[in-house]
Structure formats: structure tokens, C-alpha cells
Amino acid sequence: MADEQEFEAFYRAAFPRLVGQLGLVTGDLAEAEDLVQEALARASARWSRLRAYDVPEAWVRRVALNLAADRTRRLRRKMAALARIGPPPVVPPISEDALAVAAALRTLSLAQRQVVVLHYLADLPVDQIARELGIASSTVRGRLFRARRVLATHFDEPSREVRTING
């Protein structure tokens, strides 16, 4: 209990100072808060050892600075990769039918959504879906049957369900 109280006092005292310092390093106050929060979470797990340091705040600052450098390197790699692959293709606007299908799919359980998407959108046969999900083919067929019954309640005509799902 004393360790927790001691860490809480350290946290309250160090957090604003460290956020101010990291904010100047990163140029982004929200990012600085995230970095300092992560560094303090790591310090919390090691507090029994860190509290014996002359300046535990220096350890937390070093961790936060390392996290900032890691984020910068990761962002640089991501930007380089994006520059290599070029801009993404133009995505057409989402149709009203697609929105209706998405809304109807959200009414299904996750297990039913998985088999419906794999069967109707990915065009996988029942046996392959069963292998990929690690379930019996009869389970896939049962989930498809129950999902079709639920989906049929969302559409005026039963044939529209399959036509919309297949595009």
C-alpha cells in the first residue's frame, strides 16, 4: 500500500513536468501525454526497483524519449512504404444496398457473420470455411441457415438478400 501511495505521489509530481518536456520534443501535446503515460505505466510495474534510483524521473523520461524515437522511426518507415506504393485506388461511394447489407450483418452473431462473409463475399465453399474456422461443415451449414433466416427479415424479398451480398 505504501508503494502505491509513493508511486501515486511520484506520478502526480512527474507527469506535468514530463509532458511539458516531451511536448516540446514531439511538438504534439496529445502524443506527449500518451508517451509519458506509457512510460509511467512501465515505471509502475518496476516501481519497487525504480524508487531506489536517485532520480526515478530520469528513467521515465528516458523511456518516454525512446518511445518517441520509436514512433518517429515507425512513422518514417510507414511514410516511405506509402511513397513506394503510391496513392490508394479511388474507392467508389458506398451504395445504399451495401449499407443495408452491412446493417443487416451487424444483427448477426460474430460466428454467423464470419460464415456469411466467407461464403457469400469471399465465395468459399462450406468445407473450406469449416477448415479455416476449425469447425465442422455441418456447423457452417447450420450457421448459414440461421443467418439467412435472420437476414431475410431485413429485406423485402428473399432473393434480394443473396443478390445484394454477392453484389
Instruction: Give the sign of the dihedral formed by CA 72, CA 73, CA 77, CA 80.
Output: positive
Listed in sequence order, the residues at least 6 apart from 164 whose beta carbon sits closer than 8 Å to its beta carbon are 97, 98, 100, 101, 155
Looking at the fold, whether 24 and 78 belong to one and the same domain comes out as: yes
Is the pLDDT assigned to residue 85 strictly greater than 70? yes
Is the pLDDT assigned to residue 163 strictly greater than 70? no
> Has this prediction a pTM greater than 0.85?
no
**Alpha-carbon gap, residue 50 to 113, rounded angstroms:** 48
Q: What is the pLDDT of residues 86-134, one digit of tens each?
A: 888 898 898 988 888 899 999 999 999 999 999 998 999 999 999 999 9
Looking at the fold, whether 69 and 33 belong to one and the same domain comes out as: yes
Looking at the fold, whether 78 and 101 belong to one and the same domain comes out as: no
Of 30, 59, 85, which residue constitutes the final position of a domain?
85
Q: What is the pLDDT of residues 20-57, one digit of tens each?
A: 999 999 999 999 999 999 999 999 999 999 999 999 99
**Structural domain total, the chain:** 2
Listed in sequence order, the residues at least 6 apart from 165 whose beta carbon sits closer than 8 Å to its beta carbon are 101, 116, 120, 121
Instruction: Give residue 39's domain range.
Output: 2-85
Which set of grid coordinates corresponds to residue 36?
509519458
Of 59, 85, 111, which residue constitutes the final position of a domain?
85
